[in-house]
Amino acid sequence: EIVLTQSPGTLSLSPGERATLSCRASQIVSSTAFAWYQQKPGQAPSLVIYLTSNRAPGVPDRFSASGSGTEFTLTISRLEPEDFAVYYCQQYADSPSTFGQGTRLEIK
């Protein structure tokens, strides 16, 4: 199975700064079927990005994502207070689907 490794484990930034979260796959992801989720404490995870770069409904345009092969990136252009959360990547291009271990985005 494809192992996804997210980096960094924790990212400490201030509101207004730019956040770049990475997800590296152990082998080439065969299609664009790659997603990112946001999870706040005590809540279910919410889809942020699907098919590598498409924002889910209601997701603000400060969120963008890209990637291919083994390297995928989620960028938040200007952090708002509500963006501080844990983010997970998921590949659903190959069987079985797998998740990364998460990046905690915390307020500096």
Partner 1 sequence: DVQLVESGGDLVQPGRSLRLSCTTTGFTFAAYPMGWFRQPPGKGLEWVGFIRSKTYGGTADYAASVQGRFTISRDDSKSVAFLQMHSLSTEDTAVYYCVSAPSFTHGYSIAGYYRGRGTLVTVSS
Distance (Å, whole) CA 35 – CA 53: 8
The gap from C-alpha 72 to its chain's centroid, in whole angstroms, comes to 8
Interface with partner 1 (CB under 8 A), residue from 5, 22, 70, 98: 98
CB nearer to partner 1: give 16 or 57: 57
Q: Which of residues 43-82 bind partner 1 (CB under 8 A)?
A: 44-47, 50-51, 54, 56
Residue type, 40: K
Does the bond joining 96 to the residue before it have cis omega, within 30 degrees of 0? yes
- Contacts to partner 1 by CB under 8 A: 1, 30-35, 37, 39, 44-47, 50-51, 54, 56, 88, 90-102
